Amino acid sequence: MKTVHNFNAGPCVLPKEAINAGIEALKEFKGSGMSVVEISHRSKDWEAVMGETEALWRELLNIPENYKVLFLSGGASTQFLMVPFNLFHKKAAYLETGVWAKKAYAEAKGLFGEAAVKVASSADRNYTYVPKQYDIPKDADYFHITTNNTIYGTEIHKDYDCPVTLVADMSSDIMSRPVDVSKYGLIYGGAQKNVGTAGVTFVIVREDILGKTGRYIPTMLDYTTHIKDGSMFNTPPVFPILIMNETLKWVKAQGGVAGMYKKNVEKAALLYNEIDRNKVFTGTAEKEDRSLMNICFVMNKGYEEKEEAFMNLAKERGMVGIKGHRSVGGFRASVYNACPKSSVEALVKCMQEFEKMLS
């Protein structure tokens, strides 16, 4: 297989151990004579995988017993709809810190109009910071945040003390840093950043916040439907869950979430330090809000016309997925859990090489 440095924003780099285990399970699952994508999801062998995957989530994040862990389809985008369907009663509050936060708010507003309120937004500076000064309505049923913004490279680095139920989309930073789950009513996200491949969505929900809307919730959009049937009301996405299972085993072997966090801080510091030092590049996000997962940078003033030249050099050096999102431009290096430090070092070396070429 060709060696590349994979900085894709998602789907993204996965642990080789998880990929190899997935390949073997595709060929034959646990001596069954069948592929994992052929077996019954009601079989004992598959139920064991479901149970083990939930147990890994609980262990790695120290999830309290009064929370349920679900594995669903539909991606985080479906959760933008499921959250208000399940939690909204009179008012919902949203913090807008990027495209995905904006989309989550739009779904709530589409359902409940002016009762869905935006408490603050960083759109005024193209989402390059996380708002700090705002008031959360005390009568809100929940406050929704997006903890990491993949497009703009900002991240909320702490667990908020919130006066109402806190809901978080953690699609792109789950398992990358310690999280106090007890401060949240609900955490959700797509798996395809740090915990697996596209096709499965995780939901961690405190059970006592459900069943209070007083209205009909469509069956497939009702969290209680999936809680009652152990995430198997309908056929679950078996292969993505298997990859999630293997990825979580890998996280555990790396020292758990604490171990991952230490490595992620080191990787991010290595790249941010080069961005700040290098005369050719500059970061786009405010320093205090810089993401550990998605590192965004552009050409410094006077070097803007050299963007294509650097992109070509990076490709020659095996860099994949570093082109910035079209709404930001420039470059983005997504350094998720499975991105090795050696890839970050290779990118830094490439940046230094490019600077010397322009000297």
At residue 326 the predicted structure's pLDDT band, cuts being 50, 70 and 90, is confident
Compute, in degrees rounded to 10, the torsion defined by CA atoms 339, 341, 342, 343.
Answer: 40
Strand order in the sheet with 116-121: 67-72, 201-206, 186-190, 165-169, 142-146, 92-96, 116-121
Q: Using the predicted structure, report yes or no on whether residue 19 has a pLDDT greater than 70.
A: yes
Phi, psi dihedral angles at 264 (to 5 degrees): -70, -40
pLDDT tens-place string over residues 222-274: 999 999 999 999 999 999 999 999 999 999 999 999 999 999 999 999 999 99
Q: Mean pLDDT for the chain?
A: 97
The structural domains of the chain, with segments of one domain joined by +, span 16-253, 256-357
SS3 for 56?
Answer: helix
pLDDT tens-place string over residues 161-219: 999 999 999 999 999 999 999 999 999 999 999 999 999 999 999 999 999 999 999 99
> Within 13 A of 318's CA, how many CA atoms are on the CB side?
14
Closest CA relative to residue 153, chosen from 257, 12, 297, 267:
297
Q: Which amino acid is present at 217? A: I
Which alpha helices (H) appear in the chain, and where do they start and end? 16-27, 44-61, 75-87, 99-112, 223-228, 238-253, 256-277, 307-316, 341-357
Count H helices, E strands: the chain?
Answer: 9, 14
Q: What is the DSSP letter of 276?
A: H
**16-253: CATH, from 3.40.50.11400, 3.60.20.30, 3.40.640.10, 3.40.190.10:** 3.40.640.10
Supply the residues annotated as catalytic: 100, 169, 193
Burial (0-12, 13-18, 19+ Cβ within 10 Å), 45: middle
pTM reported for the whole predicted model: 0.97
**Bridge partners for 118 per DSSP:** 94
What average pLDDT does this structure show over 353-357?
A: 97
Q: Using the predicted structure, report yes or no on whether residue 313 has a pLDDT greater than 90.
A: yes
* Long-range pairs for 118-123: beta carbons < 8 A, 24 or more residues apart: 118/93, 118/94, 119/93, 119/94, 119/95, 119/143, 120/95, 120/96, 121/95, 121/96, 121/97, 122/96, 122/97, 122/98, 122/154, 123/96
pLDDT for 328 equals 86
* Top-tier CATH class for 256-357: alpha beta
pLDDT tens-place string over residues 78-105: 999 999 999 999 999 999 999 999 999 9
Q: Is the dihedral of CA 271, 276, 280, 281 positive or negative?
A: positive
Retrieve residue 303's tokens.
């070097």
Instruction: Mark residue 318 as left, alpha or beta (left: phi above 0; alpha: psi -120 to 50; beta: remaining).
Output: left
Beta strands in 126-206 (DSSP E): 142-146, 148-149, 154-155, 165-169, 186-190, 201-206
Retrieve residue 52's tokens.
């083990």
CA distances in angstroms from 54 to 246, 266, 342, 353, listed in the order given: 12, 29, 31, 45
Q: Kindly give, in sequence order, each residue whose CB lies less than 8 Å from that of residue 23, ignoring residues fewer than 6 positions away.
A: none
Distance CA 238, CA 32 (A): 15
